[in-house]
Structure 1
Amino acid sequence: MNDTKDRRRWAGLVFISIAVSLIIVDSTIVNVAVPSIVEELTISSTEVQWVQEAYTLVFASFLLVFGSLADRFGRRRLMLIGVGIFTLASIAAALAPTGGLLIASRLVQGIGGAMILPTTLSIINATFRGRERGIAFAVWGSTIGGMAAVGPLLGGWLTTAFSWRWAFGINIPLGVIIVIGVALTVAESRSDRVEAIDGVGALLSVLTMAPLVFGLIEGRTYGWWTVDTAPAIGDWTWPLSLSPVPIAFAVALVALIAFVAWGLRRQRAGRSTLLAFGLFRITSFRNGNIAAAVVSLGEFGIILALPLWLQFVVGFDALQTGLLLLSLAIGSFVASGIAGALSGKVTPVWIVRGGLLAEIIGVAGVAFTISPDATWGPLIPFLFVYGVGVGLATAQLTGVVLADVPPAASGQASGTQSTSRQLGAALGVAVLGTVLFSTTAGALTARLDDRGVPTAQSDQVVSQVVDSAGAAIGGLAASPQTQDLAIDARAAFSDGTRAAAFTAAAFLTLGLASTLTLGAGARRREPEKETAA
């Protein structure tokens, strides 16, 4: 009987990992498909960011909410509902006739994804104990690292051989497999304490995340302080000279302060809170979440820039781009073997630090190779090293963050940990996207001025290149009258991509520094208590 139960637990881990793959592949597969989406739906560079950010924004905003709901109403139940929502939204995205409807579909996907990710972690935390929990976390983390790299290859093949719409359509069979597998192999679990949901806290958490990411993305469009371009919806136009961006940042700050104050007040009154503030007294949990946010900021932002540069500047198609990024996937899978060999011999925090160092070397190396006439050869080893780093850091950091969390609080803890990662990822895409396009605009303007191009024409060319996220470069190159301008555009877009890569390396360096505070908590383990839990 115990053998059968044990086999079901590990089979369940397989389907949980496939569920993680569903949301991670989707968040990366879209990057390779974006150039084709740009050309077919004629979306702007701001919409390009929102195709990615609409998903990430909602995802990050609701992780805490659904992590808490899972503890109360059943982790498996919420996970299955999330897979269903995600799959239906994927169908809508695959059929979307406009950029606006695609973005709306991505918003709904984010809701489904926010139900899936924290429940996978909390199910693992509640199902496995001791050394088995460490192995399960390693499988979960390696899946994230590997699928983040396999996604571009799959997306490249689907986009080249069929259409970008299949980048979303692939989620349909995966969703069916997950629902059947999880229903058969994963036992339901929930917290013993069933309390009222903190609705005010949920609202404040959303009001913190949404305006923050909105401001980071739209700052270069609407203006960081005063209005550059007035937002308009139908006949209504933004009436103030003050940009909506600083207002959005102010709303986020006020909401964050209110969220913390409200949560502490409820905690002192003995009532349930969306975020278990008491968990932050656990050193490994508190410091690990800080490190996770900073690391994710550097890790995932660069994945937005590279496919655009490879296809619109270097001239790769989507499949070639995916094949090149396969070296990142191979590195991540190699990392899982390395982590297994080091288990028990090296403390997890040192594996995290080694992974981050490899990421820094890899992404900085990519930055140094970026040029308009770059070739695939020098990129492969650096992407491989970067992949090794992602695999090592992702798997072990999760284990460090949740190692000392009691199973009863696993949903809230995993939701918090996932929120930290997704907050970092959302900020990474927003910040590095802004670096990419702002640097490109500045560099192209300077080059066109040096060439003596009239201001009106220069502004038009810069607007075309930046608003199209680089897609207009091919059109400039095709016309004999604008071939020289295309050369400048390729150089400028390379400058922007290089700046984004170096920015990512800087954030990863900051993340490495933040792990220096993980020493005590990362070394502390209480296997006796875990076994007894």
Structure 2
Amino acid sequence: MPTPPATTPTADRAPASRHRWWGLVAISLGVSLIIVDSTIVNVAIPSIVDDLHITSSGAQWVQETYTLVFAALLLLMGRTGDRLGRRRVFLAGTAVFTVASAAAAIAPTGSLLIAGRLLQGIGGAMILPTSLSLINATFRGRERGQAFAIWGSTIGGTAALGPLLGGYLTTHFSWRWAFAINLPLGLLVAIGTLLFVTESRDERAEHGADLAGAVLSVTGFTGIVFGLIEGRTYGWWTLRQPFTALGLNLHHGLSPVPVAFAIGLASLALFVTVELRRNRQGRTALLDLRLFSIPSFRNGNAVAGIVSLGEFGILFSVPLWFQNVLGYSAFDAGLALLPLAVGSFAASGLSAALAPRIGTLNLVVAGIACEVVGVAGIGLVLAPDGPGWPVLPFLFVYGIGVGWATAQITGVVLADVPVAQSGQGSGTQSTTRQIGSALGIALLGTVLFTNLAGDLSHALQSDGLPPTQATAIASTVQASAGTAIQPLLANPATHQVGERARESFTQATSLAAYTAAGALSLGLLAALRLKRTMAG
């Protein structure tokens, strides 16, 4: 294993100032910004689609770009913070994130909005790993456990609050305020960090950067997620419609989707090869693959990744159902998700007291079980012509699960990791969760929209519409991410078509919920396996 890095005195001793708790407030607020931004635009998507005239694939990329870039850079930015100073990188990330939020808020086109989200992802990747390192350097003993509990609660709770805040801002102001709100908050984070957070760094941290690893990981995950998102648009094998990008102008033949999958998988395979070689040579590596020889670390990351796939994916589809099928405003859709936030905050607060009594891993298992019940229940009670309230109890149960599992999984993953490698271990765990989140949005979005188009086209043909017309209507509803449904319902001439669209969207959302529940069930099995491993 690599030699444990030495640290500066500020990293070895917690600051004596009682104001370090104000520093924790600043750090937690910074983390809340980047976590909220992964969910705040969920309820704003229909307004963004209408205003910027983007397709459903573009709507997913508004989400995916942020999450994917965020995930790809976590390890690299964590290493940079160790070498250059964690507070310095945290502040730089806050500045990048705030400026990018301003760019997203004024974006006149979908492409520029996605570019702003990309920059937000870079800033977020600078904030998250350094926040963990700063807490580790600032607090000691029991206080450190309390600080990490607050950090975990921030992640669990603010992920659920994002849709409510986004809905309020979208309904009463504009979707642009979902991004503009970050400007004053980012300023508060910067001021609080400068006043109350002490700088720390590892003096012997390895110099240099694993640029090859960074490029290969970004290329790999981008290729896979592109394929998942665009397969329904361009075809999974044969090109269904013209594709123009990067100088290519394809009109027929092979779809770019299988090519993207092939590039993505090959890049990830090469990434593993490069990292193994750099590990053997003792050179700086983006990922120390030897950590995966530790059973708790290996299985804990599997749990974290799979659970994140189910958690954040479902938060993409349910707000769309509330708005497009039930006709809720963006704010009402966010308000409908409030039970999730209440359950998450309550469970996160209780986790610090429950974990010592029943065990951290038992709490994670209980949390994932609640998530499975909550998500599967959502799929069962969705109805195109019924009220929205039957969904609320299951959202609350799901929120409890998020609060318990999210607040405690970091401790489980790092339980057997050597102290000298805890920084990279936490960065790896964060990366795994963010990649799981990116794949979850891609996978469940694909399930949602692919089944929506297929089921609606079949239903309309059963009603007597010619196949060409039925397919065209289904494609329009799919491309609008469902926002075309309410106008269809409002027009007496197309009301019946709108009803069919509501039914198809509901069925597709239920299927997406069942898919998320299936992923969470795999995470539960992985958690139970991890429990047996640690017990043995």
**TM bucket normalised to smaller:** over 0.9
C-alpha distance in 2, partners of 1:193/1:368?
Answer: 55
2:99 is aligned to 88
Shift in Å at residue 209 of structure 1? 1.4
Measure the CA separation in 2 of the matches of 1:522 and 1:6: 38
Q: CA deviation at 1:218?
A: 0.9
Indicate if the aligned counterparts of 1:71 and 1:412 stay in contact, CA closer than 8 A. no
2:78 to 63, 67, 73: 67
3-state SS, counterpart of residue 175 of structure 2? coil
Give 2:64's match in structure 1, choosing from 53, 61, 71: 53
* Deviations 1:218-268 (CA, angstroms, capped at 9, x unpaired): 111111122122311498512662211111111122111211111111221
For residue 485 of structure 1, what is the aligned residue in structure 2?
497
Tell me if 1:267 matches 2:275: no
Contact 1:436 1:496 in 2 (8 A): yes
Per mean C-alpha deviation after superposition, the further-off stretch among 335-344 and 51-60 is 335-344
Secondary structure class of the residue paired with 2:37: helix
- One of 348, 351, 358 as aligned partner of 2:363: 351
AA at the equivalent of 1:312: N
Shift of 1:188: 1.7
| Conserved 8 A contact 2:77-2:126 | yes
Q: How does 1:34-183 map to 2 (within 5 A)?
A: 34-183=45-194
Q: In the alignment, which residue of structure 1 is the partner of 2:330?
A: 318
Distance 1:159 1:511 in 2: 34
Alignment of 1:413-428 (within 5 A): 413-428=425-440
Q: How does 1:396-411 map to 2 (within 5 A)?
A: 396-411=408-423
Distance 2:223 2:269 in 1: 14
Q: Does 1:432 align with 2:444?
A: yes
In the alignment, what sits opposite 2:10? Answer: none
- CA deviation map 1:124-148 (0-9, x unaligned): 3344445443332221111111101
Native 8 Å contact 2:105 2:176 kept in 1? yes
1:168-191 deviation line (CA, Å, top 9, x unaligned)? 011001100111111222222222
Tell me if structure 2 keeps the 8 A contact 1:324–1:380.
yes
Counterparts of 2:209 and 2:265, CA distance in 1: 23
Q: Which residue of 1 aligns with 2:5?
A: none
Residue equivalent to 2:27:
16
Q: Answer whether contact 1:465 1:473 (CA < 8 A) is retained.
A: yes
Query: How far did residue 68 of structure 1 move?
Result: 1.8
Q: Where do 1:425-504 residues align within 5 Å?
A: 425-504=437-516
Q: 1:235 to 1:185 in 2, by over 3 A?
A: closer
Instruction: Please identify, of 413-422 and 381-390, the stretch whose mean Cα deviation from structure 2 is larger.
Output: 413-422
Contact 1:15–1:178 (Cα < 8 Å) also in 2: yes
2:18 corresponds in structure 1 to: 7
Whether 2:235 is the aligned partner of 1:199: answer: no
C-alpha displacement of 1:203? 1.5
CA deviations on 1:361-405 (whole Å, 9 max, x unpaired) are 111111111111231321111111110000000011011112343
Alpha-carbon distance in structure 1 between the residues aligned to 2:247 and 2:277: 44
Q: CA RMSD in A?
A: 2.0
1:254-313 Cα distance to aligned partner (Å, 9 max, x none): 111211111111221122211122322333222211110000000100111111110111
Structure 2 CA distance for partners of 1:257 and 1:96, relative to 1, 3 Å = same
- CA change 1:114–1:522 in 2 (3 A) is farther
Do residues 376 (structure 1) and 388 (structure 2) align? yes
Q: Distance in 1 between matches of 2:479 and 2:273?
A: 41
CA distance, structure 1, for counterparts of residue 191 and residue 534 of structure 2: 37
Contact 1:66 1:415 in 2 (8 A): no
Q: Give the whole-Å Cα distance in 2 for the aligned partners of 1:3 and 1:504.
A: 42
Q: CA–CA distance in 2 between the matches of 1:360 and 1:307?
A: 19
**Contact 2:87-2:197 within 8 A present in 1 as well:** yes
Aligned to 2:352: 340
Report if aligned partners of 2:230, 2:257 keep a CA contact under 8 Å in 1: yes
- In 1, Cα distance between equivalents of 2:364 and 2:405: 4
Match of 1:281 among 293, 296, 300: 293
**After superposition, what is the alpha-carbon deviation per residue over 1:411-448, rounded to whole angstroms, capped at 9, x for unaligned?**
32222111100110000000000000011111101110
How far did 1:192 drift?
Answer: 3.2
- For residues 496-515 of structure 1, the aligned pairs below 5 Å read 496-515=508-527
Retained in 1: the 8 A contact 2:89–2:130? yes
1:340, distance to aligned residue in structure 2 (A): 2.5
Distance 2:21 2:332 in 1: 36
* Structure-2 change in CA distance of 1:261 and 1:234 (3 Å): closer
Greater mean alpha carbon deviation, residues 496-505 or residues 217-226: 217-226
Per the TM alignment, residue 408 of structure 1 is displaced from its structure 2 partner at its CA by: 4.0
Per-residue Cα deviation, 1:452-475 (whole angstroms, up to 9, x for no partner): 111221122111100000111122
Q: Does 1:31 align with 2:31?
A: no
Distance 1:145 1:447, change over 3 A: same
Per the alignment, do residues 131 and 277 of structure 1 end up closer, same or farther by CA in structure 2, a change over 3 Å counting?
farther
**Does the CA contact (< 8 Å) of 1:126 and 1:408 recur in 2?**
no
Distance 1:30 1:354 in 2: 29
Please report the TM-score for the alignment, with normalisation by the length of structure 2: 0.94
Q: Is the 8 A contact 2:239 2:251 kept in 1?
A: no
| Inter-CA distance 236–261: structure 2 relative to 1 (3 Å threshold) | closer
Paired with 1:188 and 1:476, the residues of 2 have a C-alpha distance of: 58
| Distance of 1:259 and 1:236 partners within structure 2 | 26
Could you tell me the TM-score, scaled by structure 1's length?
0.94
For 1:495 and 1:46, how far apart are their aligned partners in 2? 20
Which is richer in helix?
A: 1
Offset at residue 482 of structure 1 (A): 0.9
Contact 1:192 1:408 in 2 (8 A): no
1:31 is displaced (CA, Å) by: 0.4
SS in 2 for 1:429: helix
Distance 1:6 1:512, change over 3 A: farther
- Give the percent of matched residue pairs that are identical in Structure 1 and Structure 2: 58
Alpha-carbon spacing, 1:277–1:133, altered in 2? closer, same or farther (3 Å):
farther
Residues 1:181 and 1:523: Cα distance change in structure 2 (over 3 Å): farther
1:322–1:208 distance in 2 versus 1, CA, 3 Å: same
